Amino acid sequence: MTAHISNIARSKGDPKVIRSGPSSMGAADRLAKALGWFSIGLGLTELLAAGRIANALNMQGKESLVRAYGVRELGHGIVSLSPDKHLGLWSRVAGDGLDIATLMTAFRHDNPKRDNVGIALAAVLGVTVLDVIGAQAVSARHSRPQGRHRSYRDRSGFPQGLQSARGGARDFQTPADMRAAAPLAAVSDRAPQERARAH
Protein backbone atom coordinates (compact mmCIF):
# COMPACT_ATOMS: atom_id res chain seq x y z
CA MET A 1 0.00 0.00 0.00
CA THR A 2 2.79 2.44 0.93
CA ALA A 3 4.67 1.63 -2.28
CA HIS A 4 1.51 2.28 -4.33
CA ILE A 5 0.93 5.67 -2.66
CA SER A 6 4.62 6.60 -3.15
CA ASN A 7 4.37 5.84 -6.87
CA ILE A 8 1.29 8.07 -7.23
CA ALA A 9 3.15 11.00 -5.66
CA ARG A 10 6.48 10.51 -7.44
CA SER A 11 7.72 13.05 -10.00
CA LYS A 12 8.60 12.15 -13.58
CA GLY A 13 12.05 10.61 -13.66
CA ASP A 14 11.99 9.48 -10.03
CA PRO A 15 12.70 5.77 -9.50
CA LYS A 16 9.63 3.60 -9.09
CA VAL A 17 9.11 2.00 -5.67
CA ILE A 18 8.84 -1.78 -6.13
CA ARG A 19 8.24 -2.67 -2.50
CA SER A 20 8.85 -1.11 0.88
CA GLY A 21 11.37 -2.57 3.29
CA PRO A 22 10.82 -3.56 6.89
CA SER A 23 9.60 -0.81 9.18
CA SER A 24 12.15 0.84 11.45
CA MET A 25 9.44 1.46 14.04
CA GLY A 26 9.97 -0.36 17.30
CA ALA A 27 7.29 -1.49 19.74
CA ALA A 28 7.54 1.83 21.59
CA ASP A 29 6.92 3.78 18.36
CA ARG A 30 3.94 1.60 17.47
CA LEU A 31 2.47 2.15 20.96
CA ALA A 32 3.01 5.91 20.59
CA LYS A 33 1.25 5.84 17.23
CA ALA A 34 -1.69 3.88 18.64
CA LEU A 35 -2.00 6.24 21.62
CA GLY A 36 -1.78 9.24 19.30
CA TRP A 37 -4.70 8.00 17.17
CA PHE A 38 -6.62 7.06 20.33
CA SER A 39 -6.09 10.60 21.62
CA ILE A 40 -7.40 12.10 18.38
CA GLY A 41 -10.47 9.83 18.48
CA LEU A 42 -11.15 10.68 22.11
CA GLY A 43 -10.69 14.38 21.44
CA LEU A 44 -13.20 14.33 18.57
CA THR A 45 -15.66 12.40 20.75
CA GLU A 46 -15.32 14.94 23.56
CA LEU A 47 -15.80 17.80 21.12
CA LEU A 48 -18.82 16.34 19.32
CA ALA A 49 -20.56 14.58 22.22
CA ALA A 50 -19.73 16.80 25.19
CA GLY A 51 -23.38 16.92 26.30
CA ARG A 52 -23.79 13.14 26.31
CA ILE A 53 -20.54 12.64 28.22
CA ALA A 54 -21.54 15.24 30.82
CA ASN A 55 -24.99 13.64 31.21
CA ALA A 56 -23.53 10.13 31.54
CA LEU A 57 -21.35 11.32 34.43
CA ASN A 58 -24.01 13.61 35.97
CA MET A 59 -21.74 16.58 35.29
CA GLN A 60 -24.27 18.83 33.58
CA GLY A 61 -22.96 22.34 33.07
CA LYS A 62 -19.42 21.06 32.45
CA GLU A 63 -19.87 20.67 28.68
CA SER A 64 -17.43 23.50 27.92
CA LEU A 65 -14.82 21.82 30.12
CA VAL A 66 -15.34 18.52 28.28
CA ARG A 67 -14.88 20.31 24.93
CA ALA A 68 -11.71 22.01 26.23
CA TYR A 69 -10.40 18.58 27.22
CA GLY A 70 -11.26 17.41 23.70
CA VAL A 71 -9.13 20.15 22.15
CA ARG A 72 -6.33 19.21 24.57
CA GLU A 73 -6.59 15.54 23.51
CA LEU A 74 -6.34 16.52 19.84
CA GLY A 75 -3.14 18.42 20.61
CA HIS A 76 -1.73 15.43 22.51
CA GLY A 77 -2.58 13.15 19.61
CA ILE A 78 -0.99 15.34 16.95
CA VAL A 79 2.25 15.69 18.91
CA SER A 80 2.26 11.93 19.70
CA LEU A 81 2.20 11.24 15.95
CA SER A 82 5.00 13.73 15.26
CA PRO A 83 8.77 13.17 15.51
CA ASP A 84 8.51 14.62 19.03
CA LYS A 85 6.27 11.76 20.13
CA HIS A 86 7.87 11.58 23.59
CA LEU A 87 6.58 15.11 24.29
CA GLY A 88 3.10 14.07 23.17
CA LEU A 89 3.09 11.02 25.43
CA TRP A 90 4.37 12.89 28.49
CA SER A 91 1.74 15.57 27.88
CA ARG A 92 -0.84 12.77 27.74
CA VAL A 93 0.35 11.59 31.17
CA ALA A 94 -0.15 15.12 32.55
CA GLY A 95 -3.57 15.26 30.90
CA ASP A 96 -4.51 11.93 32.45
CA GLY A 97 -3.78 13.41 35.88
CA LEU A 98 -6.11 16.29 35.09
CA ASP A 99 -8.82 13.89 33.91
CA ILE A 100 -8.52 11.84 37.10
CA ALA A 101 -8.75 14.96 39.27
CA THR A 102 -11.85 16.11 37.36
CA LEU A 103 -13.56 12.73 37.58
CA MET A 104 -12.82 12.50 41.31
CA THR A 105 -15.00 15.60 41.84
CA ALA A 106 -17.94 13.61 40.43
CA PHE A 107 -17.11 10.38 42.28
CA ARG A 108 -19.34 11.38 45.18
CA HIS A 109 -21.69 9.12 47.14
CA ASP A 110 -24.63 11.41 46.35
CA ASN A 111 -24.01 11.16 42.58
CA PRO A 112 -26.67 8.80 41.13
CA LYS A 113 -24.30 8.04 38.23
CA ARG A 114 -21.32 7.27 40.45
CA ASP A 115 -20.92 3.84 38.80
CA ASN A 116 -20.40 5.50 35.40
CA VAL A 117 -17.78 7.77 36.93
CA GLY A 118 -16.07 4.72 38.45
CA ILE A 119 -15.93 3.03 35.02
CA ALA A 120 -14.53 6.21 33.49
CA LEU A 121 -11.92 6.45 36.26
CA ALA A 122 -10.86 2.84 35.73
CA ALA A 123 -10.53 3.45 31.98
CA VAL A 124 -8.45 6.60 32.50
CA LEU A 125 -6.20 4.80 35.02
CA GLY A 126 -5.65 1.97 32.54
CA VAL A 127 -4.77 4.39 29.74
CA THR A 128 -2.49 6.30 32.14
CA VAL A 129 -0.47 3.12 32.70
CA LEU A 130 -0.09 2.71 28.91
CA ASP A 131 0.85 6.37 28.53
CA VAL A 132 3.57 6.12 31.20
CA ILE A 133 4.94 2.89 29.68
CA GLY A 134 4.88 4.41 26.18
CA ALA A 135 6.47 7.71 27.26
CA GLN A 136 9.29 5.94 29.12
CA ALA A 137 9.93 3.50 26.27
CA VAL A 138 9.96 6.19 23.56
CA SER A 139 12.21 8.44 25.65
CA ALA A 140 14.64 5.57 26.22
CA ARG A 141 14.60 4.52 22.54
CA HIS A 142 15.22 7.96 21.07
CA SER A 143 17.43 9.65 23.65
CA ARG A 144 21.23 9.67 23.58
CA PRO A 145 23.44 9.77 26.66
CA GLN A 146 24.76 13.24 27.44
CA GLY A 147 28.20 13.96 26.01
CA ARG A 148 28.07 11.27 23.31
CA HIS A 149 27.98 12.35 19.69
CA ARG A 150 27.24 10.24 16.67
CA SER A 151 30.31 9.30 14.68
CA TYR A 152 30.18 9.24 10.88
CA ARG A 153 33.88 8.54 10.33
CA ASP A 154 33.17 5.27 8.57
CA ARG A 155 30.88 6.92 5.99
CA SER A 156 32.10 8.34 2.68
CA GLY A 157 28.85 9.81 1.37
CA PHE A 158 29.06 7.50 -1.66
CA PRO A 159 26.57 4.62 -1.29
CA GLN A 160 28.40 2.40 -3.81
CA GLY A 161 31.87 3.24 -2.55
CA LEU A 162 34.40 5.92 -3.44
CA GLN A 163 36.02 3.93 -6.25
CA SER A 164 32.76 3.60 -8.19
CA ALA A 165 32.29 7.39 -7.99
CA ARG A 166 35.67 8.21 -9.55
CA GLY A 167 35.29 9.49 -13.10
CA GLY A 168 31.52 9.42 -12.86
CA ALA A 169 31.23 12.96 -14.24
CA ARG A 170 33.58 12.50 -17.22
CA ASP A 171 30.75 12.68 -19.74
CA PHE A 172 28.97 15.59 -17.99
CA GLN A 173 27.79 18.32 -20.36
CA THR A 174 27.31 21.82 -18.96
CA PRO A 175 23.66 22.84 -19.53
CA ALA A 176 23.19 25.70 -22.00
CA ASP A 177 21.61 28.01 -19.43
CA MET A 178 24.68 27.65 -17.17
CA ARG A 179 27.37 28.32 -19.82
CA ALA A 180 27.16 32.09 -19.26
CA ALA A 181 27.82 31.69 -15.53
CA ALA A 182 31.64 31.58 -15.83
CA PRO A 183 32.01 34.85 -17.85
CA LEU A 184 29.56 36.59 -15.49
CA ALA A 185 31.51 35.40 -12.47
CA ALA A 186 34.72 36.76 -14.00
CA VAL A 187 33.08 40.17 -14.58
CA SER A 188 31.81 40.31 -10.99
CA ASP A 189 35.29 39.38 -9.70
CA ARG A 190 36.91 42.21 -11.74
CA ALA A 191 34.45 44.89 -10.58
CA PRO A 192 35.97 45.48 -7.08
CA GLN A 193 39.46 45.68 -8.57
CA GLU A 194 38.39 48.29 -11.15
CA ARG A 195 36.69 50.36 -8.43
CA ALA A 196 39.86 50.20 -6.33
CA ARG A 197 41.98 51.44 -9.31
CA ALA A 198 39.53 54.30 -9.93
CA HIS A 199 40.10 55.58 -6.38
- SS3 string, the chain, reads CHHHHHHHHCCCCCCCCCCCCCCCCCHHHHHHHHHHHHHHHHHHHHHHCHHHHHHHCCCCCCHHHHHHHHHHHHHHHHHHCCCCHHHHHHHHHHHHHHHHHHHHHHCCCCCCCHHHHHHHHHHHHHHHHHHHHHHHHHHHHHCCCCCCCCCCCCCCCCCCCHHHHCCCCCCCCCCHHHCCHHHHHHHHHHHHHHHHHHC
Is 147 inside any structural domain?
no
pLDDT of residue 176: 74
Q: Considering the domain boundaries, does residue 44 fall inside one?
A: yes
Instruction: State the pLDDT confidence band at 180, using cuts at 50, 70 and 90.
Output: low
- Domain assignment present for residue 41? The answer is yes
Domain span at residue 103?
27-142
pLDDT at 140: 85
Is residue 188, in this structure, part of any structural domain at all?
no
**For residue 109, is it within any domain?**
yes
Residue 58 has pLDDT above 80, yes or no: yes
pLDDT of residue 34: 93
Say if pTM beats, i.e. exceeds, 0.85: no
* Average pLDDT taken over every residue of the chain: 81
Residue 176 lies in a domain: no
pLDDT at 83: 84
Domain assignment of residue 123, yes or no: yes
Q: How many domains does the chain have?
A: 1
Q: What is the pLDDT of residues 89-127, one digit of tens each?
A: 999 999 999 999 999 999 999 999 999 999 999 999 999
Task: Answer whether residue 49 is part of any domain.
Answer: yes
